[in-house]
């Protein structure tokens, strides 16, 4: 549960093929409904700029929670931005999964398979009233933090190919099916 809450919301409006941006007004309404005042910042195409902006905002000390709305990549940028901040005690992290795989959200039982208003409301309610959990991070090459999982070899090769080719395909462009053509 969040006390004296003021949230920094990081929105990737292009997540879930633009559904995150299209549903932002509803999510903002839900944040207001649960008395979570917030400042919203959208991600930048330059991931480093996103991380630096988050770090600067977190360092201001104004936020007790950072809410990430996006996929696993956006969540990675949010986590790394938070860790770049000079604060010893970091704000809590809230997650509204809006990507293709949403591995970290699934690890915590936060699922949005349809990205429906009911699912989004449940995410915001969990942020407002839920119990905090710890999230272990792994520092890789003294440079970047990883949460939940990482892969070498086959896993990142499939992900790389999927990201490179999915917009060119007529079928298997969304969801878990978007990985199938990259497996062969």
Q: For each of the chain's 184 residues, which pLDDT tens digit applies?
A: 455 669 999 999 999 989 999 999 999 999 999 999 999 999 999 999 999 999 999 999 999 999 999 999 999 999 999 999 989 999 999 999 998 888 778 878 888 888 899 999 999 999 999 888 888 888 888 888 888 766 677 776 776 677 677 667 766 666 667 766 777 7
Buried b (16+ CB within 10 A) or exposed e, 79-91: bbbbbbbeeeeeb
Instruction: State phi, psi for 115 to the nearest 5 degrees.
Output: 50, 40
The pLDDT score that the predictor gives to residue 146 is 80
Task: List, by residue range, all CATH 3.40.50.10330 domains of the chain.
Answer: 7-146
pLDDT of residue 156: 67
What pLDDT is stored for residue 150 in this prediction?
65
* Cβ contacts of 91 within 8 Å, gap of 6 or more: 8, 58, 63, 64, 65, 66, 82
Q: Is 85 in contact with 58 (CB distance < 8 Å)?
A: yes
Burial state string for 149-179 with b = 16 or more CB within 10 A and e = fewer than 16: eeeeeeeeebbeebeeebeeeeebbeeeebb
Say if pTM beats, i.e. exceeds, 0.75.
yes
Q: Which CATH architecture has domain 7-146?
A: 3-Layer(aba) Sandwich (3.40)
Residues 110 and 97: beta-carbon distance below 8 Å = yes
Distance CA 144, CA 132 (A): 24
Structural Rg of the chain based on CA atoms = 16
- What pLDDT is attached to residue 39? 98
């Amino acid at each position: 549960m969040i006390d004296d809450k003021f949230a920094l919301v990081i929105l990737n409006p292009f997540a879930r093929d633009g559904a995150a941006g299209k549903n932002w007004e509803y999510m903002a309404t839900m944040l207001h409904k649960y008395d979570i005042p917030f400042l919203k910042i959208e991600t930048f195409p330059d991931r480093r700029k996103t991380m630096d902006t988050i770090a600067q905002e977190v360092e201001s000390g104004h936020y007790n929670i950072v809410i990430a709305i996006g996929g696993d990549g956006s969540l990675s940028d949010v986590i790394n931005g938070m860790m770049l901040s000079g604060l010893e005690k970091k704000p809590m992290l809230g997650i509204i999964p809006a990507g293709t795989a949403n591995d970290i959200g699934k690890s915590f039982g936060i699922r949005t398979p349809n990205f429906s208003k009911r699912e989004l409301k449940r995410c915001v309610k969990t942020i407002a009233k839920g119990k905090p959990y710890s999230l272990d991070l792994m520092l890789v090459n003294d440079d970047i933090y990883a949460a939940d999982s990482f892969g070498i070899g086959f896993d990142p090769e499939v992900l790389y190919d999927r990201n490179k080719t999915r917009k060119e395909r007529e079928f298997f462009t969304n969801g878990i099916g978007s990985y199938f053509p990259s497996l062969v």
